[in-house]
Structure 1
């Protein structure tokens, strides 16, 4: 049964939390995903076996949380992540960010300081509203966005993505690849070579842009964007263990 936290902005955020000892782990999901996905549930089981604190949650407009997806934007979802981390966890946390969650985890390093002790990113998608959606829009799509405030974009999943003017405009205030990105903490970036949503080139751009003494990029041959096979899930928990070892 999910519990709910009301953020300073008045949004109701659904979450599930497992108690434990030591440095905690927080999972940040992707765009239009929820906390019932295979990666979140696998990591919860892993953390429970390890006796380690674990937190998963739904951004506003996702899963069980309040709000409509189309009303949200990166800035809102980063506020949601910051609120649950600040209110529900204690001490440094290892953030595991998947796709958009990777971008939000990078924003958390800027906003939460030492509360972020380490990062594991899975197909991190920093700046995707600008470099993915906006850069890929045709002149007709940009005109439709300006005229109606939204445009539907095909996805690799069941339904198209509704991309709003607010999502694009707010995204420009959250970009992390245009200014210095200092990560003075253990970071392990995972990227599948068969990912058609986030390219290896994007992973390399982030890896080369970020500065820090303990940043690693691991390419997983044949892994796609879902990163949810038994082998790939094991790679995520293995990576979390390596980051936790360097912290503890």
Structure 2
């Protein structure tokens, strides 16, 4: 992925973000977009530290502040330590963006239940653990942003288990927004449509990808930067958007 952060040296901020799954795909685009806005960013990774270090290096080379922090999002001790590390490095946390997730596609009738458990551990428990830490730690005026999927509306065959996990993410998100009444912290979910990432492209032939692109009124796949722009709005100026699932999908019905 080519970096194009272009941080304006005149932009300064004391705001700090932690981005889970921040080492590649949408997560990396989010890291770079928030860094462009002047935020210091904790770049979380689960298994690929080298890729996280590359993301950090790109931000730092552009004049931003970032460092890598590892851990399993579904492990409450690991995530508590990750939040501790970001707070120690940058003095606090204002924005939590939880892009970490896995997708395993299969008809419901043939899905391996071990895959179901693995996906739900990351997508549901992981979102819950990260949201719980965010609820305890995000500072006044901050934002928690989780990730769902537009397939909760499109109902594509083969996505049953994945969509079930993301529907849970939406419910966690919308309830947490109401539980944080009076804290001045917004909580929203972003639901991308078909986006050109390794997670989306893996296992799909060119015809399938072309058909999905054509299904969007804008007649193209989304790019990670498209999703990052939505996140940047919710993390920054979008203070009146709260307790919502924002469908960033180019108009996919």
Q: TM-score range by the shorter chain?
A: 0.3 to 0.5
Comparing both structures, which one devotes a greater share of its residues to helix? 2
TM-score of the two chains, using structure 2 as the length reference: 0.46
Structure (1/2) with the larger strand percentage = 1
* TM-score, length of structure 1 as denominator length: 0.47
